[in-house]
Structure 1
Amino acid sequence: MNLNLKGKRVFVSGGTRGIGLAIVKGFLSEGAHVAFSSRNEESIKQITKDLKKEFSDSVLLYFVSDATDPEKTKDVFESIISEWNGLDIVVSNVGDGRSTQEPLQSSEQFESTMRTNLKSAEIIAREFLNGNKTGKGSLLFISSITGLEAFGAPTDYSVAKAAIIALSKNLARKLAPDIRVNCISPGNVYSPGGSWDEKIQKDPERIKKIIDSTVPMKRFGTPEEIADLVLFLSSERASFITGSCVVIDGGQTVGFH
């Protein structure tokens, strides 16, 4: 299937590891022009160096920036738009599920989690809309199945991810028909160095039992599988899809609906 993404101008936040990096690579492999950001300067420089070897003919921009900082994010979007004269596709991918396990986190922890997961999405959406000269495009948020049901994930994280789904649906209705807005809610996704990798290192048998008993497909998802869905939803092949929250979780939420 030809997704017609060649030459599309794309921005991905949090693009240096896991799902974000897979999304960046996916768009590059389709011939898109890709800009991405991360707070970690050393990491993003090394990854950019590696990407330029793998995708030698690609157009690639990188930015050391914190997506929760409105001014820095504004600078990123202004730089991209100045360089490329616009943006076609924006993927808001910044998120962090690490928190504490009490029923309701401290106000400081709750605020920190909301800033990382929700505020970053709001800022990115705002800057995309502010700099959108054509009034057209695709905006996509990465949420989580923890925003759909109570699985025992940290309360603050679940609330933030639920809010992202609400944000995407409201924007989809209000920005149609010219800008499509969608959301993806992944289940358990494994990547080296990720949170599940850390848990597996500590107690592999316990994690295997959790996955076998809660996920009908009896395995983790991969970042590449999430990226494939991102690419499709961002493409012209998905031109009639907006306001959707697409679950990709190996069947984990089937029993909840």
Structure 2
Amino acid sequence: MTLNIDLTNRRAIVTGVSSGIGAGIALALAQAGCDVAGCAAEPADSDGAARFVASAEREGRRAFYQAADLADGAAARAFAAWGAERLGGVDIVVSNAGRNYNVGAAGCDDDDWRANLDLNLAAHWRVAQAAKPWLDQAAQPVVIVIASNHAFFTIPNSFPYNVAKAGLPALVQSLALEWGPHVRAVGVAPGFIDTPMNVEWFGRFADPQAKRAQVERLHPVGRIGTPAEVGALCAFLCSPLAGFISGTTILIDGGRSAVMQDS
């Protein structure tokens, strides 16, 4: 076994590819040799969709994009089937798409609750379930579920987002137990990653750069993470090098979870 991450000619479906972590994952898989079918909420003629397709094609790989509202169960399942058909099969599923629903336990109403669970929990199961027939026919198939550090630790007013994320490690365990040994299932739980959403969050403060510096100091590595780093971890987990990793969720948070109390 060599230490090269070689996913040449493997076929991946990835959700939430138009920006941020999903874009980083799709690019990393393409760089490792994957053809990729991706989706996001943005229309097919959006800049995010165009960037996704162009980034994979620059690596010499095939890329297909579909707009999909994954909070809708039928749409989530239809995307998985569409992606498999366009690729001619599926070897890798990376279920990444999600959205923050941070309204607090007191302010959360039934609509917030349902929308959060549909997108941030149920969609991951639906996409994986719809891809299962193709995974059964693949060699060494892998399902990666993108959770969050909120699956393990949270902060005030992150409800109900944190509840959905906390369910994802259990989903990963069930997929690994019930679909193994043929299919491996692994969760990835990113912490504070440099995405457009977080850039927008910094922009809410009077001094965005000062707020960013404060957040970076909270991390033992002295910075926040990048989508490329999450993508690199996913590419590794999809490779034979990670063949003994299944049923667990891996934190990628710059050491933030190791801190007992901020100074």
Q: TM-score, length-normalised on structure 2?
A: 0.88
The 8 Å contact of residues 220 and 254 in structure 2, kept in 1 or not, is answered as yes
1:123 maps to which residue? 126
1:73 maps to which residue? 76
Cα shift at 1:227: 0.5
1:16 maps to which residue? 18
1:208 aligns with 2:201: no
Q: Write out aligned runs for 1:1-257 (5 A).
A: 1-41=3-43, 42-43=45-46, 44-48=48-52, 50-51=54-55, 54-55=58-59, 57-103=60-106, 105-134=108-137, 136-152=140-156, 154-191=158-195, 193-194=196-197, 196-203=198-205, 204=208, 205-212=210-217, 214-255=218-259
Cα shift at 1:76: 2.6
When residues 219 and 103 of structure 1 are mapped into structure 2, their CA distance, relative to the original with a 3 A threshold, is farther
**Paired AA for residue 91 in structure 2:** D
Cα shift at 1:115: 1.3
Which region of structure 1 is more displaced relative to structure 2, 17-26 or 75-84?
A: 75-84
State the percentage of identical aligned residues.
25
Structure 2: which 5+ runs fail to align? Answer: none
Q: TM-score, length-normalised on structure 1?
A: 0.90
Kindly report structure 1 stretches of 4+ aligned residues shifted beyond 4 Å.
none
The 8 Å contact of residues 136 and 182 in structure 2, kept in 1 or not, is answered as no
Provide Cα deviations, 1:154-199, integer angstroms capped at 9, x if missing partner.
Answer: 12111100101111112112221110000011110012x22x2112
The 8 Å contact of residues 147 and 169 in structure 2, kept in 1 or not, is answered as yes
Question: When the two structures are aligned, how many residues end up with a matched partner?
Answer: 252
CA distance in 2 between partners of 1:167 and 1:3 (Å): 26
CA RMSD of aligned residues (A): 2.0
CA distance in 2 between partners of 1:106 and 1:148 (Å): 24
**Paired AA for residue 167 in structure 1:** L
The 8 Å contact of residues 72 and 118 in structure 2, kept in 1 or not, is answered as no
Structure 1: which 5+ runs fail to align? Answer: none
